[in-house]
Amino acid sequence: SYVLTQPPSVSVAPRQTARITCGGNNIGSKSVHWYQQKPGQAPVLVVYDDSDRPSGIPERFSGSNSGNTATLTISRVEAGDEADYYCQVWDSSYDHWVFGGGTKLTVL
Amino acid sequence: EVQLVESGGGLVQPGGSLRLSCAASGFTFSSYWMSWVRQAPGKGLEWVANIKEDGSEKYYVDSVKGRFIISRDNAKNSMYLQMISLRAEDTAVYYCARVGDTESNFDYWGQGTLVTVSS
């Protein structure tokens, strides 16, 4: 089945830009979705279909997807952005929905 | 406002059974695919099962096939997960999630219900 690979952790200083990658075989041909999960809370969809934002999600969150890597970019990082972030795709070959292993974003 | 509320979690012995429920409100339940996603303690998210709007199609992660059954009752705006032959590795918070319009993501989530499989 399809495998998504994320770095376990990313650290960034406040007001800087954080980039979280999600690797997969020809992932650029799939729609990638990103979720934010804070401790003790349910996940929240922050980017869908590679680069669209649900209503209520700040413009600081953006996404891109090409080749074998998708990227979630968080601009002007705030302390409140500290969370786990997961990428996700639908694997049409098996009708399975797949998550990456997650990346813990630490704001220094 | 979309709301998803899970119930039915608890402590069960290995080999036991449990039925989870998800009560939905704030949207036309019968128009959306629905899903169960779980998260083992300290681990990442794992998709478990999906069910089509009318219940005619169901999909499962390989590790639960033959043991878990997803179902729904559109008249009651509810979804269920019947779990049998439970194993320690099924211990997790189980989230109910609505599948988004493109049928490839999860746009709303419940707060989850904890299932603990232990003797």
Nearest CB to A33: which of B105, B108, B111? B105
Q: Please write the tens of the pLDDT for every residue from B56-98.
A: 999 999 999 999 999 999 999 999 999 999 999 999 999 999 9
On average, the pLDDT of chain A sits at 97
Cα A84 to Cα A33, A48, B105: the distances in Å are 14, 17, 17
Using CA coordinates, name the residue in chain A closest to B42.
A39
Q: Does A86 sit within 8 Å of B105, measured CB to CB?
A: no
Q: Does B107 sit within 8 Å of A97, measured CB to CB?
A: no
Within B1-119, where are the H helices? none
Cα(A50)–Cα(B1) distance, integer angstroms: 25
pLDDT of A95 over the 90 cut: no
CA distance A41 to chain B (A): 7
Q: Does B111 sit within 8 Å of A42, measured CB to CB?
A: yes
Cα(B20)–Cα(B81) distance, integer angstroms: 5
CA distance A84 to chain B (A): 9
CA distance B46 to chain A (A): 6
Structure tokens belonging to residue A40: 């003790």
> Which long-range contacts (C-beta less than 8 Å, at least 24 apart) are formed by A56-64?
A61/A34, A63/A32, A63/A34
Structure confidence at residue A74 as a pLDDT band (50, 70, 90): very high
| Neighbour count for residue A101 (Cβ, 10 Å) | 17
Q: Which residues of A touch B100 (CB under 8 A)?
A: 45, 48
DSSP B74: G
Chain A, residues 85-104, CB within 8 A of chain B, namely 86, 88-90, 95-102
pLDDT for residue A1 = 86
Using alpha carbons only, give the angle A20, A89, B59 rounded to the nearest 5 degrees. 145
Contacts of B64 (CB under 8 A, 6+ apart): B48, B49, B83, B90
Rg over alpha carbons for chain B, rounded to the nearest Å, is 13
Structure tokens belonging to residue B87: 């194993």
Cα(A30)–Cα(A49) distance, integer angstroms: 8
Nearest CB to B105: which of A37, A42, A88? A88
